[in-house]
Chains A and B, each alone.
Chain A
């Protein structure tokens, strides 16, 4: 009888130990989803690049004072490196930068976009409800001036990296 009870207790002990190990590995094995913060940081960095103290940077404007924008040197000028890992087969980021006049916010007078254009659909799909397996988006809007002219700037950034942030 004692032998039976000790075998039983051993079995219970193993069961409890397995449950504890499972709980610990499940909790600490689950990744933190930092994509929203990452997208927000990218937007903030882009915003800092094009506007300081409420004024658009002069490198965005041509000699005649017209808005020329970036000359395919957005990442270098803004010191943003989007592709730092070689494990992805396609770009995991998307950045859109649009400049609008105050009177017409439907059509940008200048826009620049770079990265994986397929991520735009993820942003639109999540306007009403968030889905974990889609890219996370962050939109920043602000107002800036340049030589008396008023500009509205919209920056949209999206980060995918689902495999690293979602279990």
Chain B
């Protein structure tokens, strides 16, 4: 086994390169898994809830506002109750 030191050095280089490649792949796979968890479509559907009330979807807030214009008694109680809606 004389004069084999250069071959050992070559092998070490490949081992390090392999480790670096594997680490980079693990990082990318982890990033992908995180992106999967944060997948959402909220930014695409804002338009669905902005109807103009004429054939579109009327927001419930508009109903409250219109009703308060017609009969504004107990406004504060009504607004507080409406604001406390759940998710």
Contact = CB atoms under 8 A, between A and B. Distances in A.
Interface of A: 5, 8, 12, 15-16, 19, 22-23, 26-27, 30, 32-34, 36-37, 40-41, 43-45, 47-48, 51-55, 102, 105, 123, 126-127, 130, 137-145, 148, 150, 152, 154, 156, 167
Contacts of A12: 18, 21
Given A22-B29, A37-B48, A102-B78, A143 B35 contact: no
Contacts, number: 117
Main secondary structure of the interface of B (DSSP, over half): helix
Contact of A45 (B32, B57, B87): B57
Given A105-B81, A137-B87, A54 B66 contact: yes
Contacts of A137: 86-87
B25 A148 contact: no
B71 interface: yes
Interface string B13-32: 01000100110010011001
